[in-house]
Amino acid sequence: MRTPDGWRIDDIQFPQDYGSPRFKSLRMSDMLKVEIAEGEKEVRDKNSKAAASGSLCGLGEGEVFTCRAGAKQYSICTSGQKFQQPHSWIEYRSGTPTKLDLVHSSTKAGTGGSFYGSFTSKAKGGLSYVRFAREGYDYVAYEDTSAQPKRSAVVVRKGERKVAEIPCTGAKDDGMPKEAGQMPSNLVVQVPFDDDLLK
């Protein structure tokens, strides 16, 4: 029905034989509330499952890197799950699912704060990393599959000096699901491998 304030949908009472065990009421407004509540619960459950796995990437987002170190988590997420397709953003997150300590985003490659990736083959695997610069610091997330056991970590550098290295110690899926060379090319700039970044 159209009113002076715009369109209004009047509530409807459906017949008894229209019902489903999911609905205690057959009024449209009550049925919509059930649908909305179920959808919100599904999103919460999926996000909780992702958080429990050590990832800070949310429902529908792609995961470039994930790492759990003690109570904290570190993730690099993208706007979509298929890396071969152009993405609208890429984002580094650190903290916990309820409180993020640092968020760094980029929406265009080759600009200030962009993400850079590289990969090199080794005898028994390879080494991938993704890095970005922020407020005078370089952040490098890497995975070394040639190490036994596999090693992944987040390195923080200030100029030529390594300030910190945070080794991943948590979930079995810590590291990079994709080599840096296979990440979103429109947002991760491929650069020659620089081993000094990890020293």
* Average pLDDT value for the chain: 78
Its pTM stands at 0.71
CB-side exposure of 103: number of CA atoms within 13 Å?
A: 11
pLDDT at residue 150, rounded to an integer: 83
- Segment 62-87 mean pLDDT: 84
pLDDT at residue 123, rounded to an integer: 80
What are the residue ranges of helices labelled H in the chain?
Answer: 28-52
Q: Are 137 and 197 in contact (CB under 8 A)?
A: no
| CA separation, residue 151 to residues 8, 35, 143, 144 (Å) | 59, 44, 6, 5
- Segment 7-25 mean pLDDT: 57
β-pairing, 137-144 vs 72-78, is unpaired
Percent of the chain at pLDDT exceeding 90:
28
Distance (Å, rounded) from C-alpha 165 to C-alpha 176?
A: 17
pLDDT at residue 140, rounded to an integer: 96
Degrees (nearest 5) of the Cα angle 104, 51, 77?
30
Both tokens of 161, joined, read 């000096």
Neighbouring C-beta atoms of residue 197, cutoff 10 Å: 16
